[in-house]
Structure 1
């Protein structure tokens, strides 16, 4: 028994930093003692702040307010409030309830405002507390703020820069006049956001004031795109929640007013900035908001002139000079252009959509332009601006999809950022803006939250539009019959796009030329063009493409699926979203089935290693389900059953390769992609066949997102044969765990070791164990289970049929002994229990020992 006690209670207690003395009570009784414990950079920062006047402190405070908000939102607020209270900086009693009631954003905003009102001593005290709490592991935004203040020179220089961003340069009367005209021109271009209108309401686009309807999006400093080989939407869509968690500790969050401020990564004030983001994420809208804020005086008045261009427009230009490029879009600048270009440091050039450029950009090229009057290819001019051989001192901002950035040398950019799209609260705001009816907005958003396939992609604004459009039609069509409505709502991505297209066709078929034949012919032609684009990385089409693929521009229906830009004869066309293009590419095979063509398409899709066809294949599998494609039947007549059989046969062959005598071992990524295809197909027989022979699902060491877990849940529910599920070190979180545990009805062995599960997961684990009568072995080792909900898990253990339970290194403390005792005394089947590497010593340890020694305890092996 002594050895058992030593093993269970002998773990070293976790180290925790004792509360520090107040700066006034520190060893020497002075602020200097605090500075000794901080990094040299942080100490220098505090000393520099102390030298500022009250007016300068306020100026700095307002300048970095966005960063302070973000840092505080991602801190342990309890520690932060305790620190402020202990240092007599602020009485914090009222703030915790405010955070609980009104949320982090309001909470941090209120604290910062109150501190500023209290004056100099409170502001300096706040910075001291923040420096102390950030000393061991500083947030990137904190590091950037400290560096910006200490590295950009003396305080006079920094104040001049801040004031310059607020008020701008002094200009001659002539330049002031032409700047006013330029700003008015850009204001008219940027002051409204335009949205396509849901089919059936009006043929006109909706317009909203950008200052009222713009929804904030996260921009982070990162080079993640370098490691992406999959389809862009998959690569970020299913990892979005993971990336958002990482922004809290790993990535610097870049607000618009930080794009051209000190870069923590490159250690300089950048003059060339890249903003990347997947299709539809809002890069163009972000640039529109940037320009609007500059025009209205809210942002970067250090730039006297901002020039904004789209690469798709520049594609039409042959060899031109920089002056020609500017005047072609801003002809009214001609009289003053030479004067404008004489001061490059006052200029910003924005180029939107590098991925749509026809020019191959070699940012390391030795061929550069050095004179704004020389004619060169547009690509050379852009590279020369970035490289500073042309208009040395100017600033350049470029946007691109991540895939294009893999093909260029981005080392010439001093800041590379990624647009991450909507956070949770931003998605809710978007839904509220979309729907006039608050109740309908809540109802729709609730449904999306409960549907992983839809919710995962809701971080992309254009996806939000598609989802809102479809669901608004569904809810309005059947407002009363809730049960019938819920059964018809889309549950997979394929069903969403089927419903989207069906709603448009339904409305169109009431129009003057709305026949099945015309709709079918247009969908067929667009599908062929769409697939050609997917296979060849083409997303922008022109009049020649429409002619090549025999696409008739049927006014309303055509414009519901394709967006056009430019003026005749130079008009370009893109699908509303890349994923809509992929859907049409798959749909055409069911409208116009050709076995040879489908076979060839599947072969090509499998041969591309960059993942360009993954969603296309998933749509093929989704359309193989007759109930999914039935919505389109009344609009395009019969769809091919043979195509469905063809796809199902292909899936069968993929499954057979894993189990036959010549079975091929596929990677976890390939297996998960196959599971996604089965999930879209809704084919439970095939899903059962996929896992049935092995009786095991193994994804150890493979990151699984909540959407991945939802797909696995479908596979497990479909298969009655799976007995063993190994999900060790898969970084599964609460949401994913909840979805998995509902589908473990036949599983006997489950390992969730090393998933960084938090104490709140005990609630889901308890529910999963309580409802499961087959589970015999559960391994939860190397997770953090200690907390108030551990008792729920132990109560569930008491009524379960578990035979082996592994809780090694789960950070349990002696307070957990009471709950462990309850579980052990109630359980009649447990034979093996591993509690090693926990700190169970303390007054309640006797409860655990008594339970283990009781005749009612069936455990034979304890570690």
Structure 2
């Protein structure tokens, strides 16, 4: 629920600095890269009517001015002309103040004297439209690691300037937008950029007023009762001179950091406020504003981390967008902007690319900042230490960098670095165990931290409080990013172990964090390093949402010998570095072999990477490179290693085929392989699992995996697996509004009419994405087709290909299908009904072909018991000027010469666009050949391919068609007249 690494108010940065301070003189107030609660460009509607006269300050001027207006004469007492001029003056001053407030970006301490202009370093972020309610319980770093697999072209990118503008094809008014994204992904910097672009007159100029109201600041007023106008006056004093309640202005409210909200936000409350002068609690004010009771024409933009995104009911949100961080090109762009020395920037980018785990993390802008800060120092001069290649190394160097920054300043030294880091680590661990990412002064005091001392370590902790108005005071703390909190928490536990401080530091904190219970320790117990690690591994594996995954990686990584040497720069570690990690490595490998969760196995491989053990991965990499993996009999842990290698490779996971990894299809062992590779399947766009002996259990596991990431998969083939009723679980995935599956092939899967009912329900719930559906060789019968038709006739259904071969259909099922296609004929392009006893009901399908909106191009009706008179209806469809039919398959229907002659009545018409005609095994003789030859010679036919194999054709019949090769109207390219002989005419 906290966007901890970020800060919503704009002076917050990766630093422990006050965003609000007493204002004897104006102070700059900006957002840091560490700050994050989401935004991007601006709401580009169209140019507005308001002309602004922005005053740009000189270089020496302060970057922020007091928000108090100097104008003291109410507008009501002015003449009309004076009132208009004054109104423009107030609006101009309002813009100018926002410009100065948001034009600079602080990276590092907020008190540095040379902050960066946002426009100089700002790098566009990748934002897409998402769905309300799509919330992941995974650790945010795990979400980043999986999202990094997806191509940036997968979804339509949305600029922040367009977040209130519907996408092409959408017809909806957008008033309230919720933008979600993990901590540090760039939400707050995006907010800053939108406001800056607006203030500079670049974007969204039909919006006259923007009110940024970060939740961190609003929290400090949660016990107050006041009106909306009073609330605005507190945050933005100039609003006292602006008639906000009138319809004169289009306004945008930005509520940054919903995950940090400490208000109740009870949307079921019956308190209804319609006037901005009505007083109520702050949470009631916000609730009424969001639902539209207050200022219903106002635009609302809310940002949040994913875990808190559902605090606002979906019915109150008109669009959900997601900030997904940097794409691959944007990563490089950031470093080239951030590092002035381009050769150094190239070296940094090259180094990060050499470590896949680091480069994946660079999707998070704040991690790019951390990496740039560390690597710029290390690569720009000769360094004796190892250049960071793991997360633990990077964060430890970052910690050392921040303590060095402190030493460069003149602070009264009351604490050693070790004592201060230990205290920060203590609060980090305690709050991590509690699940808190934001904490207060009392939390620091309980850990022996003085606020003034903490501010010295300004790169590690962010402090925001409001006191310049003399009305509200409060201090809120968070670490620059969740990962920094996790690193400090791990460092705290590690230091306790190394320095034997369990006895004197364990007892005072057990009331809060229960560290003793957490590690099952007692104050007299001496545990080995491997025991400490094993207990931490067990604790992390018990977490349902993986919230201790990164903590575990850091804890294990800190025990590597090179880290002991590194840490000696800032602290004394009493235990020798002779502690070995072999037992820890073996314990982790044992867990990889035995645990059922593929995702947790992946994290354990990351842990092995932090420990410097790559044995399993290197072994698997050799198998993959040599293409011998199908012949290898891999163990359970080796298959987990396969998943890890595939997920951390640079190649995109476009298609997953199980037959690339297993030697034989339909083997029971295939299910074990499938279970281990589920994380790979979740990140693949196409999954091919035909003939894989998928059982009910496997289908359930597959459905569960797809539910956790439904928006990525585009094609799924489960043909020839007897999954029966368990397929209903997959249809449940289809109902998910985030599911974008386009191709689903389920041939011979044991699906019954009951399964069709579940499928129809899915099509009605989410009908717009599925384009291809294959249900051949399933005994669904007429009842199943009727169920299916309930979904097909939905006008939102855009199915283009439908295969129903050998499904036990009769006239009744064909009639239902024809009725559904008449209701929704626009989209279907291909229909296969082979092997069903349709008989004369083919006339109903022929009627559909003549529908003015029917776009069917391929109709496959082999072995459908169609009589010769059925060809009359088909001929009628062929000669219709509405017909789009290009391919007609009548294989195996006893049409005889009579049926062929009837069909020729349609072929000879100029409107007929048929290009492929299959009449094999139809009882045709030379008489039928003669009719076809006459039709082809007398009309400019489009026919390119004709199959008459399997018929009783004599030499005369074949000759009639073969002799047409010199006819200028003859366009036939392929003529099949027996099973093995093809005459090609070019």
TM range (shorter): 0.5 to 0.7
Q: CA deviation at 1:325?
A: 0.9
Contact 1:589 1:598 in 2 (8 A): no
Contact 1:313 1:566 in 2 (8 A): yes
**CA–CA distance in structure 1, aligned partners of residues 226 and 169 of structure 2:** 35
Residue 193 of structure 1 aligns with which residue? 105
1:700/1:658 CA distance change after superposition, 3 Å: closer
Residue 417 of structure 1 aligns with which residue? 321
**CA–CA distance in structure 2, aligned partners of residues 644 and 375 of structure 1:** 64
Pick the aligned partner of 2:435 from 534, 537, 543: 537
1:677/1:380 CA distance change after superposition, 3 Å: same
1:491 partner SS: coil
1:677/1:703 CA distance change after superposition, 3 Å: closer
Alignment of 1:303-702 (within 5 A): 303-317=207-221, 318-334=224-240, 336-337=241-242, 339-343=243-247, 346-363=250-267, 365-478=269-382, 488-506=386-404, 508=406, 518-552=416-450, 553-554=452-453, 557-567=456-466, 569-593=473-497, 594=502, 596=516, 599=519, 602=536, 605-638=540-573, 652-653=586-587, 655-656=589-590, 664-683=594-613, 694=636, 696-698=638-640
**CA–CA distance in structure 2, aligned partners of residues 510 and 163 of structure 1:** 49
Deviations 1:500-558 (A, max 9, x none): 11233345457666989611111111111111222223222222221111113336642
1:367/1:650 CA distance change after superposition, 3 Å: farther
Residue 40 of structure 2 aligns with which residue? none
**CA–CA distance in structure 2, aligned partners of residues 635 and 460 of structure 1:** 27
Determine which structure has more spread, i.e. the larger CA radius of gyration. Answer: 2
Between 1:422-431 and 1:670-679, the stretch displaced more is 422-431
The answer to whether 1:296 aligns with 2:195 is: no
1:401/1:704 CA distance change after superposition, 3 Å: farther
Residue 93 of structure 2 aligns with which residue? 181
**CA–CA distance in structure 1, aligned partners of residues 483 and 139 of structure 2:** 10
**CA–CA distance in structure 1, aligned partners of residues 444 and 638 of structure 2:** 49
Deviations 1:695-732 (A, max 9, x none): 7415899995336999xxxxxxxxxxxxx998878369
Contact 1:621 1:648 in 2 (8 A): no
1:476/1:162 CA distance change after superposition, 3 Å: closer
Contact 1:344 1:393 in 2 (8 A): no
**CA–CA distance in structure 2, aligned partners of residues 572 and 306 of structure 1:** 25
Kindly report the root-mean-square deviation, in angstroms, between the aligned alpha carbons of the 2 structures: 4.1
**CA–CA distance in structure 1, aligned partners of residues 177 and 184 of structure 2:** 20
1:312/1:517 CA distance change after superposition, 3 Å: closer
Residue 112 of structure 2 aligns with which residue? 204
**CA–CA distance in structure 2, aligned partners of residues 490 and 424 of structure 1:** 20
1:670/1:265 CA distance change after superposition, 3 Å: farther
Q: How many residues align?
A: 547
**CA–CA distance in structure 1, aligned partners of residues 184 and 578 of structure 2:** 30
Contact 2:229 2:277 in 1 (8 A): yes
1:345/1:264 CA distance change after superposition, 3 Å: farther
**CA–CA distance in structure 2, aligned partners of residues 512 and 178 of structure 1:** 42
Q: CA deviation at 1:355?
A: 0.8
1:320 partner SS: strand
Alignment of 1:697-846 (within 5 A): 697-698=639-640, 704-706=646-648, 730=680
Deviations 1:467-487 (A, max 9, x none): 0111112113317xxxx67xx
1:495 partner SS: helix
- TM-score with structure 1 setting the length: 0.57
1:380/1:507 CA distance change after superposition, 3 Å: closer
Residue 128 of structure 1 aligns with which residue? none
2:346 partner SS: helix
Deviations 1:407-436 (A, max 9, x none): 542331111101122222222222122222
Q: CA deviation at 1:464?
A: 0.8
- Listed as ranges, the gaps of 5+ residues in structure 1 are 1-147, 149-157, 711-723, 735-754, 758-863
Q: CA deviation at 1:296?
A: 1.8
Contact 1:592 1:640 in 2 (8 A): no
**CA–CA distance in structure 2, aligned partners of residues 687 and 702 of structure 1:** 8
1:273/1:658 CA distance change after superposition, 3 Å: closer
- TM-score with structure 2 setting the length: 0.50
Contact 1:582 1:615 in 2 (8 A): yes
The answer to whether 1:277 aligns with 2:181 is: yes
Between 1:365-374 and 1:274-283, the stretch displaced more is 365-374
**CA–CA distance in structure 2, aligned partners of residues 265 and 346 of structure 1:** 25
Residue 761 of structure 2 aligns with which residue? none
1:592 partner SS: helix
Contact 1:368 1:389 in 2 (8 A): yes
Alignment of 1:50-199 (within 5 A): 162-164=46-48, 172-196=84-108
**CA–CA distance in structure 1, aligned partners of residues 207 and 87 of structure 2:** 13
Residue 138 of structure 2 aligns with which residue? 230
**CA–CA distance in structure 2, aligned partners of residues 682 and 225 of structure 1:** 39
Q: CA deviation at 1:261?
A: 1.5
2:351 partner SS: helix
**CA–CA distance in structure 2, aligned partners of residues 639 and 423 of structure 1:** 44
Contact 2:541 2:600 in 1 (8 A): no
Residue 256 of structure 1 aligns with which residue? 160
1:350/1:512 CA distance change after superposition, 3 Å: closer
